[in-house]
Structure 1
């Protein structure tokens, strides 16, 4: 979301952005089954193209001419999990945003994978949607300090579930919120319950690695 609401014509641009993101994730869900690395390349390329050319790009105007694509880590199959969801008593809470606004959420479960887990939230406003933000040992150095997002289904960012019903958590598709690129955007920050102690060097990163 942005700090100020867009003018009326921009709503249709926003609609187009969300349609294209939803279509991209539908393509990814299909492609991951046969060629996960190829689906990841397609995801990174299309996101870069949206950032480069779409009217709703999060990039500030001054950064667009020199934009060469979103930096991402190479695909790592070790960072793909089918997470069992453990139901939790529903708890309403708010998380802080990058601009100080609060976003109402309902915590309804925890996605557990190996020795780790991430709380699952339902965005408690009209339209709802499952929301899974996280921080990790790269946050504030190699990635945004406020965290990255794995799932935000109200905006189409949904990797689906496995055949047995486990939630797909593929960290190769972790992405930065819009406020990482421009402070005019207001983005929910990852809460303390969703801080991973290991480094997730997958998905979008803060910058390209230095040349060898």
Structure 2
């Protein structure tokens, strides 16, 4: 086995920190009754094949999109641009959103062929930060190893935006966080 690369080391540290927060912090989304037995989240093994440096193809007309939430609410986003990449020899496209024009980051929600099987049925998210997730030449680092479940996967007391239909992939993204079995999470299969 080869030594971990810098991104793998950072990913493992991120996962340990998240587990510690979820176990010990009063603001954790893990229900109080489940915290004493919480041993950490489950993840796919780090995989460089799901880590991309991509150009964001920005939309000229940044359309406002209304996204339903898990509590029958709605949130508005701007469809900012799209990422184009290849998984398993198949071309894929994901839309990237911003809450408003001044937001420097991107929100990339998605569902894939693992959703409802190995991963949370309602989908997972990627948050891209302009300062941290950009290369020197301006491309974005889209790392599915950092894909995470929204808080409603742990407890239905949270309101989470649903993944827009346009961000449903027909391939498996075997990277990032897996399903968390909670007695209180939002039931994505009830849709």
TM-score bin (small chain) = 0.7 to 0.9
In structure 1, stretches of 5+ residues that fail to align are 1-33
2:102 matches 1:133: no
2:145 matches 1:172: yes
Task: Measure the CA separation in 1 of the matches of 2:128 and 2:159.
Answer: 15
Report the alpha carbon displacement of residue 85 of structure 1 after superposing the two structures with TM: 1.0
In structure 2, stretches of 5+ residues that fail to align are 182-191
TM-score by length of 1: 0.75
TM-score by length of 2: 0.83
Task: Measure the CA separation in 2 of the matches of 1:59 and 1:179.
Answer: 10
> Secondary structure at 1:116's aligned position in 2?
strand
1:98 to 58, 70, 74: 70
Report the alpha carbon displacement of residue 35 of structure 1 after superposing the two structures with TM: 1.2
Deviations 1:87-136 (A, max 9, x none): 21210011111111101101021112232121011114996852111111
> Secondary structure at 1:78's aligned position in 2?
helix
2:116 matches 1:144: no
Task: Measure the CA separation in 2 of the matches of 1:76 and 1:45.
Answer: 17
Alignment of 1:61-100 (within 5 A): 61-88=32-59, 89-100=61-72
Runs ≥4 in structure 1, deviation > 2 angstroms? 124-130
Distance 1:101 1:83, change over 3 A: same
Bigger proportion of residues as helix: 1
1:58 to 29, 45, 53: 29
